[in-house]
Structure 1
Amino acid sequence: MARITFSTKGFKQSIHDELAFQRQKKRSPPSPEARPTFLEWLRISWPDILTMIAIGAIGLGFDKMWPPYHRLFPYLDTDGTIISPELAYRKRPPTLSAALSGILSIGIPILVFLFSQFLTPSFWVLNNSLFGILYANLLGTCLQIMIKTLVGGFRPHFLSVCQPDLSRPGASQGLNGIYHDWSICTGEAKDVKNALISFPSGHTEAAFASGVFLSLWLNAQLKVWSAYQPRFWKVVVVFVPLLGAVLMAGDLQMTGNHHWYDMLMGAVVGTMVAFAGYRAMFESVWDARTNDVVVLRRSQMIVAGERTKDRGRSTDSGDLV
């Protein structure tokens, strides 16, 4: 007859393992697939939405302003020759209007983000991707408009739209009277104002804000620069948004709407806000292990089921800060 024994050691170990699992589960970050209700999402996101509206309003306010300075420009030398031919180009519209450039810069990344949801659906990845691209574009647009208004510069077609009248007050300043104030312009006011705010290039800033952000996002999703060799098509895909940004910027130089240094500064501003927007939404930029991991707020973690103190993947201690 076989002897039947009951051991409490195995039972206690099972209880211990289960409790350890539950504690670890409680500490773990919430699943990115946890979808909140609309009201929960709004409670999480309303401070950011209001901030974005405020940043947009600030940019719009600066856009309506005339430059507060009266920058001087050279026109004719004492012998009647044009001193600055680089400001005498014919006015030509860019191939892409400002509105179309903005739509493409925002629309193409959004379409890519939405398409990715058919392959690997994740609410918070989509949410953070959309907020990240909006952060980059709104902040970049506000910055470049402020710089345009407060610093500015003459476009290559400035003299063509200015149509200077040397008999007006403000003419003939500086040595030999070769410098003039833009108040001597007789052209259309809106064209003159636009010709005074060349630096930096807004088209270029928007193109690089979206192009660099999308390139970083594609790199993270496709794991191009990681611990293993990627397929060449993935490398090509990551560079496509950058090529698009460069082509959009190059068109402005070809049509005489900007100087090279306008586009350079626009690209710098766009790249900076793209990195800032991406890192604000994802755990890293270059680390292939975490650059596709969304960063959550405390309020997002609560909605997703987290009830413990912050342990490393939430970004703040409340809804407002």
Structure 2
Amino acid sequence: MSIDSPRAQQQVPWRLRDASLKRILAQQDWGSVAATLAVIIGLLIAQACLNGPRSRPFQVTDATIAYPLLGSTIPYWLVILIGVVSVVGSILAAELWLARRGYADASDALAACLYFFLDAVSAFFVTGLATEVSKRVVGRLRPNFLSLCDPAVPNPVTVSYGQPASANPACTAPESSELTDAHYSFPSGHASSAFALSVWVCIYCLWVLNARQPRRTAKALAALSLRERLAQSLGAAAGLFWCLALLGWAWAVGVSRITDFKHHPSDVAAGAFLGTLVATFYAVWAIFRLELVVLCPLSAELAPSGGCVASDGCSAGTEPGASLLHGPGGARVYQDQSSV
């Protein structure tokens, strides 16, 4: 059904209870999900084939791995909890509130919610598995390794260079999961997960606040009252504060891993880079493919040249190939799935 049909000229009730689960699932970009699953399976196979950390030579006199054992200031479960809450909260706020007038009905909005949530989950799992594979390949010792290993100290103590890992002094501590984990320093899993989720949310929020909605013309801006302008500015400021808070949280997680003697600074930097890289790729990929999930709202008015005009009076352009992705560029003609 095109937007110039009789139904398209009517305001469609926007109610969550009318959402269609079948339609929500049918509108997903399952090809991208399948590609991510293939990557995850490949990383799981690589992790299984590695079968433990790589052995690295060490000296009992190495001060960089002789720090004391401390607990984690920020446990990993808290990193995941705050990350998931920020992702879900940001998506729901944008898709069900800010963009309520940008969709035909609740099914479209919920389809977009699920679409972005799956994308964020994909970024998280790919980052996590890439981190775990890297830990096993590198096998770098944590700063507190000697405290866990408690190696036998030769008498007299000698320092030799270029020795293989087989020449390492034996650990007197019994084998345990904690001792094995002491070989998994590079990169930091806490940092990579925190930055992956935080950066994904920041990119999504920046897009929603600055490029998602149709841009107002100078005439439309001049017609706004002082109260409307203030509300608009406060909304943008709140979004900026939210993004800065998430980035600050990710930074705090990384710093805590250094002060807790769980990771070297380079481990945290590598984890932050990995999480940022994967999150940026997935967020940008999802934004540019949103038009495969939802199209132009049914309640939009028909423009003279065949394009759409947003219901709030801001021009959405007239290009027939544009979408919700491009605020100033217009919106595509909405095709009702039920009429196919």
Distance of aligned partners of 1:235 and 1:105 in 2 relative to their CA distance in 1, 3 Å threshold: closer
Preserved CA contact (<8 Å) 2:196 2:276: yes
Distance of aligned partners of 1:49 and 1:42 in 2 relative to their CA distance in 1, 3 Å threshold: farther
Deviation digits for residues 130-188 of structure 1, max 9, x if unmatched?
02211210111111111111113110001111111368xxx989549797656722334
* Residue equivalent to 1:317: none
Deviation digits for residues 35-90 of structure 1, max 9, x if unmatched?
664377168555555655565555556279311x3210121xxxxxx2x2121111
1:71 to 56, 64, 68: 56
1:253 aligns with 2:258: yes
* Residue equivalent to 1:133: 120
Q: Distance in 2 between matches of 1:36 and 1:172?
A: 72
* Residue equivalent to 1:111: 89
1:239 to 244, 257, 270: 244
Q: Distance in 1 between matches of 2:290 and 2:212?
A: 18
Distance of aligned partners of 1:175 and 1:138 in 2 relative to their CA distance in 1, 3 Å threshold: closer
Mapping 1:55-66, distance limit 5 Å: 55-56=39-40, 59=43, 62=47, 65-66=51-52
Mapping 1:74-113, distance limit 5 Å: 74-75=59-60, 82=61, 84-113=62-91
3-state SS in 1 of match to 2:58 = strand
Mapping 1:161-310, distance limit 5 Å: 161-165=148-152, 174-175=160-161, 181=167, 184-187=170-173, 188-223=175-210, 232-283=237-288, 294-296=290-292
Preserved CA contact (<8 Å) 1:73 1:180: no
Preserved CA contact (<8 Å) 1:74 1:180: no
Moved over 6 A (4+): 19-22, 176-180, 224-229
Distance of aligned partners of 1:181 and 1:128 in 2 relative to their CA distance in 1, 3 Å threshold: farther
- Could you tell me which amino acid in structure 1 is paired with residue 132 of structure 2? I
Deviation digits for residues 189-219 of structure 1, max 9, x if unmatched?
3122111110000110000101111111111
Unaligned runs of 5+ in 1: 1-18, 26-32, 76-81, 284-292, 305-310, 314-321
Identity %: 20
Preserved CA contact (<8 Å) 1:224 1:234: no
* Residue equivalent to 2:316: none
TM-score, normalization by structure 2: 0.63
Distance of aligned partners of 1:175 and 1:243 in 2 relative to their CA distance in 1, 3 Å threshold: closer
Preserved CA contact (<8 Å) 1:71 1:181: no
* Residue equivalent to 2:22: 38
Cα-Cα RMSD:
4.0
Q: Distance in 2 between matches of 1:271 and 1:241?
A: 13
Unaligned runs of 5+ in 2: 9-15, 101-108, 217-231, 299-320, 324-340
Q: Distance in 2 between matches of 1:194 and 1:294?
A: 40
Q: Distance in 2 between matches of 1:36 and 1:20?
A: 20
Compute the displacement of 1:225 (Å): 11
Distance of aligned partners of 1:205 and 1:88 in 2 relative to their CA distance in 1, 3 Å threshold: same
- Could you tell me which amino acid in structure 2 is paired with residue 264 of structure 1? A
Q: Greater CA radius of gyration, 1 or 2?
A: 1
3-state SS in 1 of match to 2:151 = coil
